[in-house]
Structure 1
Amino acid sequence: MAERIIPSEDTLVKYENPVLVTTHPEKRPPISPTPGTSCVTQLTAEIRKETEEILNAILPPREWEEEGQIWTQQVSSTPATRLDVMNLQENLDTKLQQRQARETGICPVRRQLYTQCFDELIRQVTINCAERGLLLLRIRDELNMTMEAYQTLYCSSIAFGMRKALQSEQGKTDLLEQVAELEGEKSVLEKQSAELKQKTEQLERRAAELRAAEEKKHQEEIEALRKTNMQLKAQLEGIITPKK
């Protein structure tokens, strides 16, 4: 396998140099312990190997293809110093400013950078104590699961709010249509009422005219009968009264 120095992806996690993965690796004889090698050295190598396996399980190696060649890159197993921690904090602040992450509220950029910083801290702790690293991994997974639950709840609430807004908008449209329909019926009824009122007034005037004509005719008949009665009374008195 060949190695080359390639600037790693824009991440706060510290990685080893990329390694070219060969299709047919050379067969190497198993490494036998060198005579004179102390048990402490062998134990240290086994602990280092176990730590690398735990690191690869926590932060899986990255793989990509370039110019037909497959490269892989594992997280660094080099212990971190105090200076590395200070540089990590400075890099975090720098990237937050460069990528214009929001200081408050929901910000995917800020969350991504802090996640990378947490992964780097897990890497550093795991090298010194694998148990603490695994415990931090458990905490990280629990935080991610909680965050995903909140995101799901947020998306559900957004969808629920949108449905309610659409329903209210549809209900408003239906009410407006109902109002327009009732206003149309009101206009028709008002028109019918005006027509009926006009007919009623016409009928009342006609009835008044007919009543006045009937009364006038009745008065004329009464006057004619009174005159006839007076004439007949006069004639009767003339016949009854003796002549002197």
Structure 2
Amino acid sequence: MVATAASESLLKYVIPVLVSKKTDRKSLKARPLKLSTQQPPLSGPVPPPPKPRSLPVDANRQQDDEILNSLFPPREWEEEDQLWVQHVSTMPCTRTDMVNLQGQLDARLQQRQALETGICPVRRDLYSQYFDELIRQVTIHCAERGIQLLRVRDEIRMTVAAYQTLVESSTAFGLRKALQEQKGQADMENRISDLEREKQDLEQQVNEQKAKFEAVERTELERQQTEERKHSEEIQLLKRNIQQLKVTSHDRTEPLCSSRV
């Protein structure tokens, strides 16, 4: 029993077909076919060739199959040195098949835990398979309509891919900006730390200058008080000397006045 990937896809495939084996390929290489150039003698009358019969239905069916295979190329894989090929199914779909397909879609969404809203690659993959199956069913009945639906599918995929590229580039741009912001924030924090240290040094210098100014101010105030005290003492001394001189001069003038009298 060959395990195929068709059971994992909502797109309906036929039973896989064994194309070749590794041993067959080796035997073909070892024993090449030899064609004889001599024709056997004819022993009887040659029958007339059969007349070709017109089969428009089979021709149209073959053309539809070719279109379907071009829209959905067959799958090929190797398993145990055997080459298997699996074509997409050409059987039309009934209403029961559509109900079963819808049930399979819901079961796969729940089984693979697809998100109900937002961006979800799992849900996108399952709905893409679902849409391919719908295109296959439409193509069987009308190949032209299926080709147009395929164009719609490809356009949707290109639009989604463009949006995905835009989101990835935006995410990368945001990450770069975030890294730049982190780097700038680290530089700014270092700058703030340097400025805070410089501020502390300047405050310390200001405090030292204030202390020096207060010390000088106290010294000058003490010196000024000492000078004023000395000056007042000198003034008092001079005043006493002047008073004494006045008394002395007055005492000297009184005998002179009495002698004249």
Query: Match of 2:223?
Result: 210
- 1:10 and 2:23 equivalent? no
State the match for 1:101 in structure 2.
114
Q: 1:89 aligns with which of 93, 102, 106?
A: 102
TM-score, length basis structure 2: 0.81
Determine the C-alpha separation between the residues in 1 that align with 2:72 and 2:117.
28
User: Paired residue for 1:51?
Assistant: 64
Equivalent residue of 1:169, what SS? Answer: helix
| 1:17 match: secondary structure | coil
Amino acid at match of 1:17: I
Deviation at 1:126, TM superposition (A): 1.0
Q: Give the structure 1 partner of residue 125 of structure 2.
A: 112
The CA distance in 1 between the partners of 2:52 and 2:223, in whole Å, is: 145
Task: Sort the Cα spacing of 1:36 and 1:163 in 2 relative to 1 into closer, same or farther, 3 A.
Answer: closer
Does 1:121 pair with 2:134?
A: yes
What is the CA-CA distance between 1:72 and the residue it aligns to? 0.8
1:66 corresponds, among 65, 79, 88, to 79
Over alpha carbons, which structure has the higher Rg? 2
Secondary structure of 1:75's counterpart equals coil
In the alignment, structure 1 segments of 5+ residues that lack a partner are 27-32
Number of the residue aligned with 2:144: 131
Deviation at 1:48, TM superposition (A): 1.8
How big is the shift at 1:58?
A: 0.9
- One-letter code aligned to 2:111: Q
52-61 vs 5-14, which moves further: 5-14
Confirm whether residue 187 of structure 1 aligns to residue 200 of structure 2.
yes
Greater CA deviation, 101-110 or 67-76?
101-110
The residue aligned with 1:29 is none
Q: Answer with 82-91 or 138-147: which moved more.
A: 82-91
- 1:6 and 1:18 in contact (8 A); partners too: no
Kindly indicate whether the alpha-carbon contact (under 8 Å) linking 1:125 and 1:132 is maintained by their aligned counterparts in 2: yes
Q: Which residue matches 1:226?
A: 239
Alpha-carbon separation, structure 1, partners of 2:174 and 2:242: 98
Amino acid at match of 2:158: M
User: How far off its partner does 1:179 sit?
Assistant: 2.0
- Given that 1:55 and 1:126 are in contact with CA atoms closer than 8 Å, whether structure 2 keeps it comes out as yes
What is the one-letter code of the residue matched to 2:18?
A: L
Structure 1 vs Structure 2 CA RMSD: 2.2
Q: Deviations over 1:186-214 (max 9, x none)?
A: 11111111111111111111111111111
Of 195, 198, 210, the residue aligned with 1:197 is 210
Which consecutive unaligned segments of at least 5 residues does structure 2 have? Answer: 34-48
Q: How many equivalent residue pairs?
A: 231
Shift of 1:178: 2.2
Distance in 2 (alpha carbons) for counterparts of 1:229 and 1:114: 125
Q: CA 1:36–1:233 in structure 2 vs 1: closer, same or farther (change >3 Å)?
A: closer
